[in-house]
A = this chain, B = another copy of it.
């Protein structure tokens, strides 16, 4: 027969339990890093059973991906200073703040997963890449309407350069993305590219 009921608290159901699991997953991530993060310990920390985790997610990659989506629900607002450079700086600075936060670790786990598993990227690219590219395209489009951008600059490829450089910097350098780095990307790359 089954064991004695040793439960330590009331059962949670549905979204309430999801929330607790995400919280536990992100805490565990910050505490031990992605490499040493295990389903077993997430379940423990969330005070739920592994079976409950596996009911929802096929495995660690899927859980962590959803935990990150939960941690970073939105891309942010479209800056509107009326000035190209300031808008660019503000947009990339917002991105840097997110990456520099304690939960930047969570972003690293996503990058690791999509590096390993191309299909994970296909599933989540809209969420992690295209939305931010769209925001940049809107920003550039607005600057174009103000006559601040050269005609050929209004392409998705050009709009994607800023976020791509930020992601690559985050991946290829340790530590936080400083304002100096953001300014360099804006002043040496984006402004010359967009203005000409």
Contacts and interface: CB of A to CB of B under 8 A. Distances in A.
B35 A171 contact: no
A171 B111 contact: yes
A115 B118 contact: no
Interface string A174-196: 11000000001100110011001
Q: How many copies, total?
A: 2
Interface string A153-177: 1010110010011011101111100
A176 to B, nearest CB: 11
Interface stretch (A6-14, A75-83, A121-129, A134-142): A121-129
Contacts of A157: 184-185, 188-189
Contacts of A33: 116-117
A61 B116 CA distance: 13
A109 B115 CA distance: 7
A184 B160 CA distance: 12
B155 A116 contact: no
Contact of A165 (B111, B153, B164): B164
A114 interface: yes
Contacts of A167: 168, 171-172
Tell me if A's interface is mostly helix, strand, loop or mixed: helix
A22 interface: no
A63 B5 CA distance: 45
Contacts of A121: 171-174
A89 interface: no
A113 to B, nearest CB: 8
Contact of A158 (B111, B113, B153, B188): B188
B119 A108 contact: no
Interface of A: 33-35, 61, 108-109, 111-119, 121-122, 125, 128-129, 150, 152-153, 155, 157-158, 161, 164-165, 167-169, 171-175, 184-185, 188-189, 192-193, 196
